[in-house]
Amino acid sequence: MKALFRSIYELIGAPQPPADTPVYRDVVFPNIGLLNIGISLALVVIFYYVINRMMGVATFNKGRHWAIFLVLNALIAFGIAISQAHAQQVTDHSYIYWLATWNAILGLIWFFLFSLILRKGSTNASTTPF
């Protein structure tokens, strides 16, 4: 699992400064990767199954409502990467913000993929975002 997240998160470059590389590879990358996937899945389930199926809110099924959740997911993913890096007390460097931006982009991708998979189970938003 570490190797998978290492390869995904090192697409933007190796962690800086080099002394912090083991901490990123062993702790930060797996933590933010798993949290990103989990939170993306949770927000998709909330949008499609809690709000648009169980609650039956027929007015919260538009593309703009889906986009609100998409942006919320990206903001959470950005914040998680920064907080995880600071929690591991890595050196404060601009790499943290590049990592957070990349994590937000990956959060957008995860949310979109989970939306494609899980949208058919919703009664009100089965065609959202398309």
Chain segment 66-111, per-residue pLDDT in tens: 999 999 999 999 999 999 999 999 888 889 999 999 999 999 999 9
CB 22, CB 78: distance < 8 Å: no
Work out the angle at residue 89's Cα, subtended by the Cα atoms of residues 85 and 92, and round it to the nearest 5 degrees.
Answer: 70
pTM for this predicted structure: 0.90
d(CA 59, CA 54): 14
Chain segment 80-91, per-residue pLDDT in tens: 999 999 999 988
What is the share, in percent, of the chain residues with pLDDT greater than 90?
A: 61
